[in-house]
Amino acid sequence: MFRNLETQSYAFNLIVRKYQERLYWHIRKIIICHDDSDDVIQNTFLKVWTGLKNFREDSQLFTWLYRIATNEALTFLKKKRNKFFLPLMDVEQQLAQTLESGPHIDGNEIQVKLQKAILTLPEKQRIVFNMKYFEELKYEDISEILGTSVGALKASFHHAVKKIEKYMETD
Amino acid sequence: MKKLENSKEVFENFERELPFKVPSGYFEDLPLRIQSICLSQEKERVHIPLLQLVKSQLALAMGFVILAALAFAGYYYIKPPSQNGVLTNDDYIEIVEKHISDFDEGHLLNAVKDTKEPHSPSNDLADEMIRYLLKENVDYVTLMEQY
């Protein structure tokens, strides 16, 4: 269906409709800002469209999509840092500010605090925590998406949980 | 904010909800927007002229050509006037023309004096032999036949 030119567009449309929300929320948790997440999800699907002909079915479709989305989100943050010559902390502070006063943010205090706690984590830990805690993905799938061993992912998640607990204990 | 007395409990019982929202109708419009972006990209890709496709390769090739030209020009600008260390009259003229301001008359005279061959007894002997041969009218062919 993906390789046939006549059905490719139809297949792509089905993929967009099926995965748009999951991928959008995955990106949004990394980027925080809605407008930026919107740009990133568009780029993600553009990459999916151009790569669909070469998609090898030795990996699951959803892990392939998640991998593209994660890479696009990380590339976006990297560009943002390079554009403003911002060190790592400043971008995270900017994201925390967006959580406090940005548009399209609507949650209770604990939800916002949890997101702020997640923002204090290193980038990779943050992604692992989001995928495990919010999206409840299996370690095997996360491993395929991020190209990291299951053991390392478990350790990463454990450290993330400890740090978040510590953060949540503080006022 | 209310102090979280037992954070673990809160963390475990916490609803896995996000404090984010999207504009209304966002996910209804998104597939259409993505479809139109992909189609417009496809059209652009089809209409990309050949020159556009090979633009970067051409720029790279042009860079190499310019680099080679600069290297060639630089080499001929700084290379010694003549190959094999033998200077021709043209080379001397070129050197003098390029560096005329570096020399005064005294330098030139010294240079001429330095190049004059030193006087040696073997030169005198050779001159005497030549004079003898001329006097006796012995030509080159006779000498060759003799030896």
Please tell me the distance from the alpha carbon of residue B92 to that of residue A104, in angstroms, as a whole number.
83
Please tell me the distance from the alpha carbon of residue A142 to that of residue B146, in angstroms, as a whole number.
105
Burial B123-136, CB ≥16 within 10 A → b, else e = eeeeeeeeeeeeee
CB pairs under 8 A between A and B: 87
Residues of A in contact with B11 (CB under 8 A): 161, 164-165, 168
3-state SS assignment for residue B126:
helix
What is the mean predicted confidence (pLDDT) over B57-62? Answer: 91
Contact yes or no for B33 and A109 at CB 8 A = no
Residues of B in contact with A20 (CB under 8 A): 27, 30-31, 34
Please tell me the distance from the alpha carbon of residue B110 to that of residue B95, in angstroms, as a whole number.
17
Report the pLDDT value the prediction gives residue B47, as an integer from 0 to 100: 65
What is the mean predicted confidence (pLDDT) over B106-110? Answer: 75
Q: Interface pTM (ipTM) of the complex?
A: 0.83
A90-127 per-position pLDDT tens digit: 788 888 888 888 888 887 888 888 999 999 999 999 99
Of the candidates A132, A143, A99, A60, which has an alpha carbon nearest to the alpha carbon of residue B19?
Answer: A99
Contact yes or no for A49 and B41 at CB 8 A = yes
Contact yes or no for B38 and A49 at CB 8 A = yes
Residues of B in contact with A21 (CB under 8 A): 27
A12-33 per-position pLDDT tens digit: 999 999 999 999 999 999 999 9
Q: Are A47 and A68 in contact (CB under 8 A)?
A: yes
B120-143 per-position pLDDT tens digit: 667 788 888 888 888 887 777 777
Report the pLDDT value the prediction gives residue B4, as an integer from 0 to 100: 43
Contact yes or no for B27 and A21 at CB 8 A = yes
Distance from CA of B49 to the nearest CA of A (A): 19
**Structural domains in chain A plus CATH codes:** 1-85 (1.10.1740.10), 107-171 (1.10.10.10)
CA distances, A57 to each of A3, A23, A62, B39 (Å) = 12, 20, 11, 24
